[in-house]
Chain A
């Protein structure tokens, strides 16, 4: 596990693929600069591989709580105009965006 982790960190990040997942268009300059900055940061991150954490539980929630639920009660909506007030583009009661190509 430990060795495998180290190898992973040595694989350069496929910035273009990750940027596509994140839906951010990066310039070549940005991609190159981020890559070199990440390699510096990964010097720190790779240190985490020194720790054997196989028996340690993950902390997703730092102050543990369970079952925080709300009653099934209707609250007023804000209305179509308030909903669309910030819309960059609209048509009638709809938000409008460029077409979806799959």
Chain B
């Protein structure tokens, strides 16, 4: 059993029990942890209690939820009532949340069993998981390499087969890039499709939660569970949630797939091997019946700069609350309350977080606001318009999810800009608020990479349907096992 839907079926048919599945997942997680470091914290007791509840429901013959008994891993950026939520930061290392995130509640109501909280770049700032305040997570395909980030822990544990479903967040690529690096499916939904309540904020206008799963069907099923309006999130949208699993398809006849001319030029110049892999992926789509059309995103090249004004500006304000007064870590060596704030934040935040807070504070400060923040928001409009224009000519866009294969730990840590460039192909969609996913697309020198499929706002069903056809026809992830695989497959 590899996927969530297979596990649920087996539990429903009493071929196995939820407790048995959970014990296997906990065993796998524990065994791999010394090499993978995917979890900040396992929650074995909570998981066993929930698993027994599912088993009792099976025994009673109750109607089972769509994820009944499926073990899942949750990025440590989501709150779970009564449990610690660190967001990968020392400043929250002891913060125990009195409430659960809306998505966590929805997943548990659907029967999912949370086995642990996964590692991440601190406050979701990073593309390698090396910015975790605790330890870096490794890639199950090569433990000397990064799993991607910021949702690296969820990607690694799903990629290793410990659990079929992980929950991640994506602000500029933090679901899609690690999904690509760990050979799994990762979905960033439309902004507002999924509630942000209980998801520790990085950049509010960009953050979005999404599934990271073994296959497209699990992604569709999980998204169906977590999507929808939430009265606790004013920016969640009350558009009806489609039946995503019903939308899964096996051929692409009549589908127009946009290929972004600017992206092809970029990747062709930077990594010819990867460019060739993507060319092959587009050919696969064509073979399935799709028509390829060239589209243009002329402002996408400004995405990185735009993002590195908007996201730090919002984070500088969102992270102001971590001051040592009400919760979390405090550093106090005499002095007044403001000195306590300054020392707490100096000791509690890592390099990347400090860097972005400083940058964002600067971009919002007197005299610079219009030149930086407002200008970035205007360019955001231009990027969004590029997508609107493109989607007049195509149904979805197919493009690279990453600009290179998984890289070695430490390789980009001294040069933040080279790390920022990792999100070159994922940031424009985040700025436009549109849905995008990464689906396994093959291997470069033995390491996995993903194909990005992008749809107009709220067209997740279309996007997942097309990804499913591609996955079914190519089966890249099914073809190989990662060297570090830990589950009963």
Contacts and interface: CB of A to CB of B under 8 A. Distances in A.
> Are A and B direct contacts in the complex by CB distance below 8 Å?
yes
B354 A56 contact: no
B325 A97 contact: yes
Interface in B344-402: 345-346, 349, 351, 354-355, 357-359, 361-362, 365, 367-368, 371-372, 374-382, 384
A44 B305 contact: yes
B332 to A, nearest CB: 6
A63 B341 contact: no
Interface residues of B, number: 74
B342 A45 contact: no
Q: Do most interface residues of chain B lie in helix, strand or loop, or is the interface mixed?
A: helix
B384 A23 contact: no
B357 A22 contact: yes
B235 A65 contact: yes
Interface stretch (B50-58, B92-100, B114-122): B92-100
A101 B381 CA distance: 44
A63 B233 CA distance: 14
A4 B371 CA distance: 9
Contact of A98 (B231, B336, B372): B336
B337 interface: yes
Contacts of B305: 44-45, 47-48
Contacts of A98: 332, 335-337, 339-340
A97 B205 contact: no
Looking at B339, B358, B361, B368, the one whose CB has the most chain A CB atoms below 10 A away is B358
Interface of B: 94-96, 98-99, 190-192, 205, 231, 234-235, 237, 299, 302, 304-306, 308-309, 316, 320, 323-330, 332, 335-343, 345-346, 349, 351, 354-355, 357-359, 361-362, 365, 367-368, 371-372, 374-382, 384, 415-417, 420, 431-433, 457
Residue of A9, A21, A40 contacting most chain B CB atoms (<10 Å): A21
Contacts of A74: none
A9 to B, nearest CB: 8
B379 A22 contact: no
Interface string A32-55: 001001101100110110010100
B237 A65 contact: yes
Nearest to A43: B417
B313 to A, nearest CB: 11
A62 B433 contact: yes
Given A25-B342, A37-B416, A63-B457, A57 B191 contact: no
A92 to B, nearest CB: 16
B358 A58 contact: no
A61 interface: yes
17 contacts: A5-B371, A22-B316, A22-B361, A23-B323, A23-B342, A24-B342, A40-B415, A44-B304, A45-B309, A53-B379, A56-B378, A61-B205, A62-B191, A86-B94, A86-B328, A87-B326, A101-B336
B172 to A, nearest CB: 13
Q: Across the A-B interface, give the 8 residue pairs with the lowest CB-CB distance, nearest first.
A: A62-B433, A86-B327, A58-B377, A88-B330, A53-B378, A25-B346, A25-B342, A68-B234
Contact of B346 (A5, A15, A26): A26
B432 A62 contact: yes
Contacts of A57: 378, 381
Given A25-B345, A58-B381, A62-B433, A18 B361 contact: yes
A60 B377 contact: yes
A25 B340 CA distance: 10
A100 B337 contact: yes
Contacts of A45: 305, 308-309, 372
Given A24-B346, A101-B336, A51 B302 contact: yes
